[in-house]
Amino acid sequence: MADAIAASLHYLSIFVLFALLTAEHLLFKPQMDVASAQRLLRIDIAYGVSAGLVLVTGVARVLWFGKGLDYYLHNGLFHAKVGLFLLIGLISALPTLTFFNWRNDLLAGKAPQISPAIAKRTIWVIRLELLLLVCLPFLASLMARGFGS
C-alpha cells in the first residue's frame, strides 16, 4: 500500500509541475499588468515547490519503494532521466530570475518593463522546459520495462 501511495504522490507532483509550467507559458506576455505579474511570480514559486516534491517523492521511491537502489544506480536511463530533470531545473532559473527581478516594481505597484529580447528568451525557455518534461515519461516507461541496464 505504501508503494502505491508513494507512486501516486510522485505522479501527482509531476502533473502539478506540468500544469504550473503550462500556466506560466499561458500567462507570460511581453506586456504585463501588476496583477498578472504577481500571479506569475506566485505560480513560479509553486512550480519550484512542486519540482522539489517531484524530487523528494522520486528519491523516496528509489530508496524505499522501487526496484531497489542497485537497479537504479546501474541503469543508464535512470541517470539520463535524473540528468534531464536537473537540466530542466537549471534552465528554469532563467524565467525565475526574470520574474524575481520584477519584485521591486511589483512592490511599488508598477507593472514590470520587459524588453523584447527578455520576453522572447523567457517564452522559448519555458517552451524548452515543457518539451523536455514531455520526454521524461518516455524515459521512465523504458526504464520500468528493463531497458538501460
CA separation, residue 110 to residues 67, 107, 119, 134, 135 (Å): 52, 7, 18, 36, 38
> Model confidence over 54-81: pLDDT tens digits?
999 999 999 998 788 888 899 999 999 9
Sign of the dihedral defined by the CA atoms of residues 51, 85, 3, 16, in that order: positive
> Model confidence over 20-40: pLDDT tens digits?
999 999 999 999 999 999 999
pTM metric for this prediction: 0.91
